[in-house]
Amino acid sequence: MKAQPKASHFVDGAYVEDKAGAPIEVIYPATGEVIAVVHEATAAVVEAALASAKRAQAEWAAMKPVERSRILRRAADMIRDRGDELARLETLDTGKPIQETIVADWPSGADSLEWFAGLAPTVTGETVPLGRDFVYTIREPLGVCVGIGAWNYPSQIACWKAAPALSLGNAMVFKPSEVTPLGALMLAEIFVEAGLPAGLFNVVQGRGAVGASLVTDPRVAKVSLTGSVPTGRKVYAAAADGVKAVTMELGGKSPLVVFDDASVEDAVGAAMLGNFYSAGQVCSNGTRVFVQKGIKARFLERLAARTAGIVLGDPLDEATQMGPLVSAAQLEKVLGYIATAKAEGARLVCGGGRAAPNTGFYVQPTVFADVTDGMTIAREEVFGPVMAVLDFETEEEVVARANDTEFGLAAGVFTADLTRAHRVIARLEAGTCWINAYNLTPVEGPFGGSKMSGVGRENGRAAVEHYTQVKSVYVGMGPVDAPY
């Protein structure tokens, strides 16, 4: 199995190679085999990417928004036309089952390009009358934006950052995670085929140091990171030094609260989606499932039965519902959390170990019950198919316990009581919430976290605030009234 890209980087409208950079092996997580090798960007590659972005951005910003949008819409159409091929590449890069990548990853990226292409031409300023004089405002692009991606949704993340950035007149230099470097290169290639001028979307490969060199460059106006809280802290601090704008999409330990009156099947289905989709490697997952005592037995019974039916296997087989974790390192990390959960007294309901085939990084879908708030599994982000079920009795109690975390990315509530649903959601400290649903993230809705889970929002109209700045222009219409 090979998925070797034409070259490691995409700079100024073309593939670029520089083998002086350290090699990065791309591993297919289902088998452990090396499917491609790319090289880390050297300082020369980073410089070329930033210089071309800076040059291209000025002309791009001067174009009419509808002209920019036409190109992005074409790119969205091309992504949809090439859906099968792109899904296969995403599966090779991440190990996620093709039944997911064909509907979720690139399709969500295409949605985002299409939606921001539609929105951008409607973004206008305002006029503020001041009697004789007036103020008007212009929403201007920021300039060169840096995007840094995580490995769980590599192509979706690249699109979610590129779509608002480019549609609103910015340029982007994107650094994918070293674990999943392939999808962003395809996006760059598609953009150029769709007519995007050279230099507006560059991809440079590398580990954290390459990301850090982008963040500190004075030509960069904004940094958008999707990653963990520790990395977010470092990148935010580096950006602050240059007083740059940031969007931080970081980790979570989100509560999913199931009240007694909820539909058991719907709540179980949502808890499974919110813990097992993408083998649990989703930042907004509801990994603390609080179940009210009256429904607990039925919930766990249906959860165990339905979890036992999950089909693990070859990610390229359309029947496979769960693939491996993304890397050997992630496998070790998740197995470590499972061992700790057992040692700390959580009750294993199902799963709890590696799954065949052992050449791949597979973990069984795992459920722990009787989890208490202090256990490691209830406090730290696992990023694997491991669900923690906690019991609760009252609304007041569950709200306090759900909020007792440094994270604030997402939260969900299942109940048939309309007023309780809204009352509880209003009190949960999280940026992205669901009522009787979980983990649906349409591009139309803002997405992001509060507390340590992030700063800023992706998607929705809210993203416009984070990829533009307001210029305020005072217009004097009469003589200047100076006291001198």
Helix (H) or strand (E) holding 421: helix 418-427
Q: What residues contact residue 53 under an 8 Å CB cut-off, 6+ apart? A: 144, 171, 172, 173, 199, 200, 202, 219
Distance of closest approach, residue 303 Cβ to ligand NDP, in angstroms: 23
- State the nearest-atom distance from the C-beta of 23 to ligand NDP, in Å: 13
Q: Distance from CA of residue 250 to its chain's centroid?
A: 8
Cα separation, 421 vs 434, whole angstroms: 9
Which one, 90 or 178, has the nearer CB to ligand NDP? Answer: 178
- Polymer length of the chain: 484
Q: Was 282 annotated as part of a binding site?
A: no
Does the annotation list 81 as a binding residue? no
Q: In whole angstroms, how close is the CB of 40 to ligand NDP at the nearest point?
A: 9
**161 catalytic residue (yes or no):** yes
Q: Which residue is nearest to ligand NDP (CB)?
A: 211
Instruction: Give me the DSSP letters along 218-238.
Output: TTEEEEEEES-HHHHHHHHHH
Closest CA to 168 of 195, 142, 194, 202: 142
Residues contacting 347, CB < 8 A, separation 6+: 368, 369, 370
Contact 299, 258 (CB under 8 A): yes
Rounded Cα distance between 282 and 152, Å, is 7
Between CA 280 and CA 184, with CA 283 as vertex, the angle to 5 degrees is 95
CB 471 within 8 A of CB 142: no
Taking the complex as a whole, the smallest distance from the CB of residue 7 to ligand NDP amounts, in Å, to 18
Nearer to ligand NDP, 228 or 372 (CB): 228
Residue 325 Cβ vs ligand NDP, minimum distance, rounded to whole Å: 11
Question: What is the rounded distance in angstroms from the CA atom of residue 412 to the CA atom of residue 247?
Answer: 23
Ligand-binding site membership of 176 (annotated):
yes
Structure tokens at 288: 């603390």
DSSP letter, residue 459: S
93 labeled part of a ligand binding site: yes
Residues in contact with ligand NDP by CB under 6 A are 148-152, 175, 177-179, 207-208, 211-212, 215, 225-228, 231, 234-235, 249-252, 283, 381, 383, 409, 449, 454
Catalytic residue among 40, 96, 114, 161: 161
Q: Which is nearer to ligand NDP, 144 or 349 (CB)?
A: 144
Which one-letter amino acid corresponds to residue 469? Q
The yes-or-no answer on residue 395 being catalytic is no
- Long-range contacts of 371-379, Cβ-Cβ distance < 8 Å, separation of 24 or more: 371/288, 371/341, 371/346, 373/401, 373/404, 375/341, 375/344, 375/345, 375/346, 376/337, 376/340, 376/341, 376/344, 377/337, 377/340, 377/341, 377/344, 377/346, 378/253, 378/288, 379/253, 379/405
Q: Which one of the listed residues 90, 100, 114, 249 is annotated catalytic?
A: 249
**Is 397 part of any known ligand binding site?**
no
Residue 200 or 210 with smaller CB distance to ligand NDP = 210
Given the complex with ligand NDP, which of 151 and 299 has the nearer CB atom? 151
Question: Of 283, 296, 350, 395, which one is the catalytic site residue?
Answer: 283
Is 283 one of the catalytic residues?
A: yes
Give the shortest CB-122-to-ligand NDP separation in angstroms. Answer: 26
* Pairing of the two strands 410-414 and 144-148: unpaired
Q: How far is the CB of 279 from ligand NDP (least distance, A)?
A: 13
CB atoms within 10 A of CB 92: 26
Token pair 């159409």 is at which residue?
77
- 283 labelled ligand-binding: yes
Would you say 42 or 69 has its CB closer to ligand NDP? 42
Q: Nearer Cβ to ligand NDP, position 152 or 366?
A: 152
CB of 39 to ligand NDP, least distance (A): 13
251 is in an annotated binding site: yes
Residue 145 known to be catalytic: no
Half-sphere exposure (CA, 13 Å, Cβ side) for 375? 25
For residues 458 and 160, give the distance between their C-alpha atoms in angstroms, rounded to a whole number.
7
Taking the least distance from each CB to ligand NDP, the nearer of 377 and 421 is: 377
Q: Point out the annotated binding site for NAD(+).
A: 149-151, 175-178, 251, 283, 381
Detail the residues annotated as belonging to a binding site. 27, 93, 149-151, 175-178, 243, 251, 283, 381, 451, 454
Annotated binding-site members for K(+): 27, 93, 243, 451, 454
The residues annotated with a catalytic role in the active site are 161, 249, 283, 458
